[in-house]
Amino acid sequence: MVPQVIGTIVNAVGRVIGFGATQGVVPGNFPIGCLPIYLTRFQTDDLTAYDEIFHCLKDLNSFSIYHNERLQQVIEELKIGHPNTTIIYVDYYNAFLWVLSRARFFGFDLNSLQKACCGTGGAYNFSPTKMCGAPGVSVCPNPYKYISWDGVHLTQHAYKLMARWLISSNLRKSQLHV
């Protein structure tokens, strides 16, 4: 399905450019194998399915990497076809891993790195049948200690840290091109 998804993204970017946009940002995928929703859905007793550093699902992260690599290729093609348009790839994958790898420094609870802050049940505090906001689903008192808000989305604190990394990363890249 990656080619169809990438095609849809390319079509959308093309339409936006057609409306007159001269600048655009296209985000890549997160390492989905690290998110509570996927860790819960594809949980297994096979320890080789998980990476040794973060305990993320390797196959799902490989899928994200494949998607992101293909997306970056088509963005480069779009840039060639639209030389007067600035299109920036946003590397959510590595920004997320940067936050995860520095979790202790940023004050996250090391025992809850892959648990949902707002959730209930299981190893990852996530249940697809009792999502955040449902009756009886608790909200954690300190979201600054969590990376994941509801098992699907990140907390404001995690997004803020990722944004800092993304901005500084893109500034470094732009300085290399000057």
Q: Return the pLDDT at 46.
A: 97
Q: Return the pLDDT at 172.
A: 61
CB contact set of 98 (below 8 Å; sequence gap of 6+): 161, 162, 165
pLDDT digits (tens, 9 = 90+) for 69-93: 999 999 999 999 999 999 999 999 9
The structure tokens listed for 164 are 């800092």
The DSSP output letter for 45 is: S
Burial class for 165, CB neighbours closer than 10 Å (0-12, 13-18, 19+):
middle
Q: Return the pLDDT at 10.
A: 94
Q: Return the pLDDT at 138.
A: 83
List alpha helices for 19-142, DSSP H.
36-41, 58-81, 92-101, 103-106
The structure tokens listed for 1 are 């399905």
| Residues in the chain, pLDDT under 70 | 170-178
CB contact set of 80 (below 8 Å; sequence gap of 6+): none
Nearest Cα neighbor of 14 from 93, 82, 106, 115 is: 82
Q: Distance between the two ends of the chain, CA-based, in angstroms?
A: 37
CA angle 106, 108, 110 (to 5 degrees): 125
Which residue has 């779009």 as its token pair?
78
Work out how many domains the chain is built from and give that number. 1
pTM, two decimal places: 0.90
| Number of C-beta neighbours around residue 16 at 10 A | 15
The DSSP output letter for 175 is: H
| Number of C-beta neighbours around residue 11 at 10 A | 10
- 7: domain range? 2-176
Q: Return the pLDDT at 174.
A: 54
Looking up residue 13, the CATH number of its domain turns out to be 3.40.50.1110
Radius of gyration over alpha carbons of the chain, in Å?
Answer: 18
